[in-house]
Each structure stands twice: as C-alpha cells, then as structure tokens.
Structure 1
Amino acid sequence: MANAQAPLPHPPLEGSARVWGTIALSAATFMNVLDTSIANVSLPAIAGDLGVSPNQGTWVITSFAVANAIAVPLTGWLSQRVGQVRLFVASVVLFVIASWLCGLAPNMTALIAFRALQGFVAGPMIPLSQTLLLASYPRAQAGLAMAMWSMTTLVAPVMGPLLGGWITDNIAWSWIFYINIPVGIAAAFASFAIYRKRESPTRQLPIDKVGLAVLVLWIGCLQVMLDLGKEYDWFSSPLIVGLAVAAAIGFAFFLAWELTEEHPVVDLRLFARRNFWGGTIAISVAYGLFFGNVVILPLWLQQFMGYTATEAGMVMAPVGLMALVLSPFVGKTLGKVDPRKYATFAFVVFALVLWMRSRFNTQADFATILVPTVIQGIAMAFFFIPLTTITLSGLTPDRIPAASGLSNFVRITAGAMGTSIFTTLWESRAALHHAQLAESVSNGSAAAQMTLSGLVASGLTQEQALAQVNQMVNQQAFMLAANDVFYMSAALFLLLIPLVWLTHPQKAGAGAGEAAAGAH
C-alpha cells in the first residue's frame, strides 16, 4: 500500500543493516499474522472464562478481521501524509498497546472492542513491511526479499494454533496477547533505528471522509447482523432487519459515492478489469471458505471430541508445513506456468481436503484428523501467490498499491463473514440433526432402550442415563453438521474453478510479482 509514485532515492541496505532490517520487519509481520490464528483454538477457554457461548466467542476473530479490513485501504493515504517509516513504527507500537489491553480485558465487550482496535492499528503493518523490505534489497533481489517475507507469513499460521493451545492450557488465554509485547517493542525499536533516515516524502492529501464513514457503517452493520442473527432468530427480529437495511442502503450509497469522488478511499473502478474482479472474487470466496472451516474444526474438536486446546493446536498446526516447502517452488516457476493452472490445482486440493473431512465420524483418531490438515498446506502454496498475480496482472505499477489494498480489503472482509456464516450454519444444521436423531430415541426403539438399560445397570439414575444419551445425540448431531459444512465447502471450491478461467492473465506489471506475496 505504499505510495508507488514517490521516488525511492535511498540505496539498498547493505550487510548487517539489511539482515537486521529484514528480521525486524519480519518479526512485526509474524506477530500480526500470528494474531489472526492464535485465538482460534483458545475460543472455548476465552468464552468460558468471560461467560459467553463459544459462538459469541467468534466475535474475538471477526472484530479483528473487520477492523483490519477497514484500515487496509487507508494505508496508502496515511503513508503519504505521515511517511512510511513513521506510520509503520506507529502501527507496531499501537498494536503492542492494543495487545496489552486485550490481555487485560475484564469482559467480552471490552475484549471485542480492544480486538477491533488491534485489527485497525494493524492495517498498515503488512503492506508497509513489504514496501520497506523491497526498498532494502537491490532490484535484482526483489524475489529473494519477498521469499524471506513470505516465510514469516507461512510460519505464523503453523505457530499460532500450537502456541495458542499451549498457552491456554498451561498459563492463561490472556498471554496469547501479552506475548506480542516483547516482540513488538523489539521490532519497533529495531525498525526505527535502521529505517528512520530512509523516510519517504510526505504530502498533504485530501481524505474521503464521507466514503470512509459510509464504509465503516455498512461493513459494521453487515458483520454485526451476521454475528447476532442466530441469537435473535434472524429476520423475525426488528434489530436484524434494521441492520440489514442499514447495510444495504450504506453499501448502495458507498458505491455511488466512491465512483464519483475525486479521491476515493477505495478505487472501485478497478473492478472494470476482468482479471481484477475475477481474481479478487476467487481469492476472497476461497479465503472465506478456508477461514470458516479453520474456525469450526478446533471448536468441534474441543467441544465434542474431548481435545484440549494444545491437542487442537497440534491438529491445526501442520497446515503451513507443505506451504513452507512448496511456496519457493511456486514463486520460481510462476513465470513459466499459467497461474490459472496453479489456482485450479489449489482449489481441487482444497475440495479433496474438505471431502476427506466430510467423512469424519466421532470415532476418528488423531492421525485421521491430521492427514487432511497436512495435505491442505499443498493447496495453500498454490493458492495465494498465483491468484494475486492474476488479480494484479496487466496493471501499471502506480495502480498496484490501490489494487493490492482493495483486493486485501475484500479478502479480509470475506474471511470475517466466512467465520460468522459457517459457525451459524454449523449450529443450525446441528439443531436439525439433533431433532432427527432424538426422534429415534423413543420407547419403541430397541437400541435406545438397550443403551438406557445398560447405563442404569452401570449405576446411573434414569435422569442421568437420559442426560448421557442426550449428550451422545448432541455429539453425533454436531459431527453430522460439521460433515455437511465440509461437504458443501468442497463443492463450492470446485465451483470456483470456472471463475479462475474467465480471467486472462497478461504478463504481470513491474510490481505485481512483488505485490504477490501481499495476499498472505
């Protein structure tokens, strides 16, 4: 999201300054990406501790994602007003303060507010870390710079669930936020020391205040509607209807305003390009599907399969391993292979992974649940970089920052919506399966009577035996509901493939290859 037109008079960094600069920028990126996945396995513990349902606990994830999505398009404007280095360091420092506040949160309302603050101040961090890193290396080594940067964004999703699970089980969930403090302070101090004399030129630019206000309004209303819908029985509630109407009117006004504004906060004219809209829709819908499933799996494992947060983290962690191994190969060969082929391969692998998960039952052991997660890493390697290359292909270098920002905004918003939609869908399917299964637990069912007799014979009262059977029915209902969600997601991944082939990637513009890693 840097200012692409600003000259870069600073020569590349040399020797130890470049090494430490790379480490400092990567540490900040790592901390940021870690925070998108570290809370997933800790949701049941956070929800239990703060006295809300695990479904309400997903607000911890969605509030961060929505605020982050809103902040991303502002990065270009802010970096021109404040300067790239000052903005980056401020973003890291504010992220540290917000993390500290998240750890101190006394209740769920405060935690959601602080997570939204954390997501908002994190907005400029990833695009600017990329921009500063590219300026630290000679032009010929841009690929190496992006490979180093990509590694941190791929290791973080591996570490997030493992670290989150271990901290939740062995210390306290608040420490998943406190660990950002030493990392962030070190990254901010080192970045400022190395880059302060390499500040970008600043200029006074007008800000589209109306566009920004309307953007916050409609995105906020839409997300709150999705998060509260199930609790308020959807459109039978005046609140949900009001939020839906506000989101729809806000969105319509936002479109009209941004297309006529001289300095729009989001350059919607980019959607006139087939590669841009095709690539953005494909990457965003796929990311929403991916993220929704990533949230459901640890919830199911901990609530209905008896897994601890650490064990759930171990199941989730290997997702980045294959991506780590294969991403350099994808980066090197992308110039020779049609990126649509790589994206198609990624979607087929995602569909396979989710189809495998749709075959799980309540007897599935650790190894069975782990295998699809390992395979999913292959899809991740062939997913982000090719689709971002398609999205940005054919654009002139000066339009790439705006295009990358808008594409990231849509993708992050889709991730937040995916979380809300999938947890809601999972619970509603579970209620349906529970009702169907409960019908078979009657006086006329020999199997039900045998199970109840066996439980009573083992020393339980009739009420305790019935409660035990209800628990078994509940476990089975949520398992079947998860199967439904996984199966539907697999089908949707296959349906995205034709969309990829509607695009016609040209040779990427000068900065597109460099911006490719920005999709992470």
Structure 2
Amino acid sequence: MKRWIIVVTAISAAILELIDTSIVNVGLTDIAGNLGVTIEDVAWVVTAYAIANVIVIPMTGFLQRYFGRKNYYVGSIILFTIASYGCGFADNLWVLVFFRFLQGIGGGALLSTSQGLMYDSFPPSQRPLASALFGMGIVLGPTLGPTLGGFIIDNYHWSWMFYINVPIGIAAVFLSIAFIDKKEDEKNIDRKAINIDQMGILLLAVGIGSLQYVLERGEADDWFDSKAILWLTVAAVVAIPLFIWWELRATKDPVVDLRALKNRNLAIGSILMVVIGYGLFTSVLLYPLFAQRIVGLTATQTGKLLIPGGLVTLPMFALVGRLLATGKSPRLLVAVGYVAFSSFCFIMSTYNMNASDGDFITALIIRGIGLAFVNVPLINQSVATLTPRELPTGIAIVNMMRQVGGAFGVAITNTYVTQRTAVHRGDLVTHLQPGDMLTTERITAMTQALIAKGVNVFDAATGAYKNLDLIISRQALMLSYLDTFKLAGLFFVVSFPLLFLLKSKKMDAATAKAIADSSH
C-alpha cells in the first residue's frame, strides 16, 4: 500500500509540473484582457516559468546532495504550491510573472526527483514498470495542460488554472512527509564538506537562461531586430562554452558533471531526446491551434478529442514496461515509437479545414502510441551504460535536453508558421487576378449574400472583399500548419539512423538500483 501511495504522489507531482508548462497557453488572451496588458507582455507568464525550469533541472543532482532528496522534494512542492496560489491571486502582470518564476524553480525538482522516488518504490525486476508509470506522467502532463486550461477558460476564471494546484500540492506535501523515507546518506549531511560550484551555477543560469529566453521570445520580438534578443544571444554564446570549459577543466566538483557525455549512449540519447521534446511540445502547440483556428472547434471540444488517445496510451506504457522487463531490445521499441510519431506528423499534414473528429482521434491515438514506445526505452537506454557515479548527471541531462528540445520546437514552429503563412498568402493572392472569372463570381456571390441580409450595396461590396481576405488568410495559415507538421516528421526521419549507434544493453539490477539511489 505504501508503495502505491508514493507512486501516486510522485506521478501527480510530475504531471503537475508538466501541466504547468502548457496550461496557461490557452488562457493568455483572457489573462491579458483581465490584467490590461498586451499579448506580447503576457507571454512573459510562459517565458518566466520555462527559464526557471530549464535552469533548475540540470542542478537537481547537486541540490539533492546538498539538502537531501526528501527535504529538497518536499521543499520544492511547498514552493510550487505557494507560488501557484500567488499566481492565482496576482492582480498585476509582473506579480504574476514573479510567482511563475518561483513556480518554475519548484517545478524543476518535481519532474526529476519523482523519477528516483518511483525507482525506489519497486524492486529491480519491476523497475521497467516504474519507468512506464513515470513515462505516463511525462506524456500526460503536456497533453492534459491545454485540455484542462481550455475547460477552465471556457467555464471559470483564469486564476483557477493555478488554484487547482493548491489542494493537490498540500496533499502531496503531507503524503511525502508521511510515506517517503530518507536514505542513509540524507540523515547526516555535512554541508560544509560539499563544495558549491558558484561559478558553474552562474554560467549555467546565464547561458541556459539566455538561450531559453531567445527561443521563447525570438519570433515575437523579431529576433535580432530586438536589442534584448541580440544581447542575450551573445550572453548564451559566451556563457555556454565557458560553462562547458569550467565544468570539464576548471573545477573538481562541477555542479553538472559533463564528463558523463563522453558515454556514447548518453550523448546520442541526449540528441534523440531533443527530437522527442521537439515533437512532443510542437504537437501540443500545433494540434490545438489547427483544431481551433482552422476547423473551428472550441477549447473544450479540442480537449475532449485528446481523451481517446490518452485512454489508448495508458495501457501502451504498461505494455512497454512489460516488454522491457522481458528483455526486448530498447532500440527496437524506440524505432516503433519513431515510426508511429512520424506517421502522426505526416497524417496531420494531410488534413484540411474539413477534418472530422474521427480524423483527429485517429492521429492522436497514433501519436500516443509513438510517445509510449519512444520515451521510456530511450531514457533507459541513454543511461544504461553509465557508471553509478555518472547516473545522476546522466538523468539530469536527459531531462534537461527534453525541455530544451521543447523550447527549440516552440521557437522553430512559431517562426516557420509565420514565414510559411506569408509565402502561402503571396502564392494564393497571385491567383486572384482582376477580371478572373472565378474570382469575380466569388466576389459577386458574397456581395449578393450580404445584400440579402440587408447590407447596402457599397458596404456589401467592401465586406465581400474583406471576407475574401479572411478566407485567404485562413487558407494560408492552414497550409503553414501542414508544412510545420511535415517539418516535425522530417526531424524524426533524419534522426532515425542515430538509433543504430546506441549500444544495446539491458539495464541490470545494480544499475537500476544506482538510479534509485542517485540524486534523481
């Protein structure tokens, strides 16, 4: 019974963290209107959380050594819960941004530390099942975020996107205190003996934080036309190489031991995890936009179409866990996931504004199967050949690379959609020549329809041209979404050969135990 209480607590905390990476996306317009700010300014609500999150994740190994895993975990849940209440209570944009940043700091521990707690709850022979259960949280979080956010926006005040975290967070704190045991090395921590890599932490925060900001805000701020984007790009270009040099050469106690990346599986797995993060977050961003802006579904309807895919995905995780436990090749399982997810992307690239609910459900089921087959085996295989000492850093790097991949995905998607929309609009307009019979017939039909509704002749003619412009804009936007789905599919196709460079090794009991005892 104790094991399953810990499982529920750990998965709930991980899902909470990942939900909050995407839940506010559907509510930005409402938040902007309520707080009296622009959409550009309110985007800081997303950016602040992402920056804090991506900085903290790679440092969780050090932070858990310093504070003790249980203390750090419980403290992070408390911080996340208090910050969630602060977000809901905020009546000013910058107060909301401040609490979102604190939320991101607390949330960075929930994803990483939950994984170690899951492993601790199972004997070595059942740890593939723990991986599968944890994998459900990784996938369900970003999927449920827009769904839950859309339901709240359609029915309640936006602040409830944050308030719903409070009771779950309080319950998680009490359950963690009552049921999670401290490991032996947590009971008598000598913090004076732990060297704090202050320079490494500073360079990591500046480098990764600047990169995350550039990726999050680049398209909205016209990239290098913005002085902030330009200078933060310079900061990232300078700080990240310095961080790598410092961690490898200049300190004996690095905050992130990058020497682990000499391991081929971890290096290749990290690259592949960027692709997975790109695909996961891009699909989470693109599907709701396509369903709502092109097909015309509401936020609630868009969310409901995700349910069948989620119901199919859950048993798929259990199946993947069982296959891993019986010794099936992780590379084969990841290959199946790659094929399924790339198929989802290419299927979505064939849809149009007449796409039915059944079309979306079919594609989303394939997506869910792909994510189930690719996440858990890839994480396990990435760290399977590491030494016990390298495992904390390895898992931290894998988690960070998925988040960075997501940031790259959002940046690439926003930029590509904008560029392709302009290209398609130009192509469509060239077909509307003055005197063209089909164009004239369309304008005449729309004009007559408006006149029939009581609009005077002059305004009807003007309205017909405006309606035609809206049709062209919508068509161009739809074509740009289709192009972006194709691009996402190509990322999977191009990176597929890297799977064959992974060394195939089943994670033995000693390594699995080391994961459980590691900082994650």
TM over 0.5, shorter chain: yes
CA distance in 2, matches of 1:44, 1:299: 14
Q: Could you list the per-position Cα deviations for residues 324-352 of structure 1 after superposition, in whole angstroms to 9, with x for gaps in the alignment? A: 11112212222522211211221111111
Q: Which residue of 2 aligns with 1:476?
A: 475
Equivalent residue in structure 2 for 1:448, among 418, 436, 439: 439
CA distance in 2, matches of 1:511, 1:74: 24
**In 1, Cα distance between equivalents of 2:310 and 2:41:** 27
**1:248-327 correspondence to structure 2 within 5 Å:** 248-260=237-249, 261-327=251-317
Partner SS for 1:413: helix
**Which residue type is aligned with residue 75 of structure 2?**
A
Q: What is the deviation of 1:372?
A: 0.6
**Counterpart mapping for 1:59-208 below 5 A:** 60-157=45-142, 159-195=144-180, 200-201=186-187, 202-204=189-191, 205-208=194-197
* 1:430 maps onto 2:429 in alignment: no
Check conservation: 2:263, 2:385, Cα contact below 8 A.
no
1:435 Cα shift? 2.4
In structure 2, distance between residues paired with 1:183 and 1:370? 30
Unaligned runs of 5+ residues in structure 1 are: 1-15
* Residues in 2 aligned to 1:279 and 1:294: alpha-carbon distance in whole angstroms: 22
Contact (CA 8 Å) 2:313, 2:368: kept in 1 or not? yes
TM (normalized to structure 2)?
0.88
Q: Residue 233 of structure 1: CA displacement?
A: 3.2
| Corresponding residue for residue 8 of structure 1 | none
Task: Pick which of 47-56 and 485-494 moved more.
Answer: 47-56
Distance 1:107 1:511, change over 3 A: farther
Question: Residue type matched to 1:502 in 2?
Answer: L
Name the structure 2 match of 1:9: none
C-alpha deviations, 1:342-375, integer Å up to 9, x for none?
1122111111111111111122222222221111
Q: CA deviation at 1:152?
A: 4.5
Separation in 1, partners of 2:339, 2:53: 29
1:233-252 matches, within 5 Å, as 233-252=222-241
Give, in whole Å, the separation in 1 of the partners of 2:6 and 2:425: 55
What is the alpha-carbon distance in structure 2 between the residues aligned to residue 55 and residue 313 of structure 1? Answer: 25
Q: Paired residue for 1:11?
A: none
Question: How big is the shift at 1:135?
Answer: 3.4
SS where residue 473 of structure 1 aligns?
Answer: helix
Partner of 1:490: 489
- Structure 2: give runs of 5+ residues left out of the alignment: none
Return the offset for 1:438: 2.5
**Pairing partner for 1:387 from 362, 378, 393:** 378
Once the two structures are superposed, residues 425-482 of structure 1 have per-residue CA deviations (whole angstroms, 9 ceiling, x without a partner) of 1122112212222233342332222222112212252222222111111110110000
Tell me the distance in 1 between the aligned counterparts of 2:213 and 2:271: 22
Comparing 313-322 and 497-506, the one that deviates more: 313-322
CA distance in 2, matches of 1:471, 1:51: 27
Instruction: Give, as a single letter, the amino acid of the residue that structure 2 aligns with 1:489.
Output: A
1:143 Cα shift? 4.5
Q: Secondary structure at the match of 2:507?
A: coil
Identity %: 35
User: What is the alpha-carbon distance in structure 2 between the residues aligned to residue 249 and residue 105 of structure 1?
Assistant: 36
Once the two structures are superposed, residues 275-325 of structure 1 have per-residue CA deviations (whole angstroms, 9 ceiling, x without a partner) of 111111012122113312321221233334322111121234444333211
* Letter aligned with residue 199 of structure 2: V
Alignment-derived partner of residue 4 in structure 1: none
SS of residue matched to 1:383: helix
Change in Cα spacing, 1:98 to 1:217, as seen in structure 2 (3 Å) is: same
Contact 2:351–2:482 (8 Å) recurs in 1: yes
* Matched position secondary structure for 1:490: helix
Query: Could you tell me whether the CA contact under 8 Å between 1:214 and 1:254 is conserved in 2?
Result: yes
Shift of 1:412: 1.0
Q: TM-score, normalised by structure 1?
A: 0.88
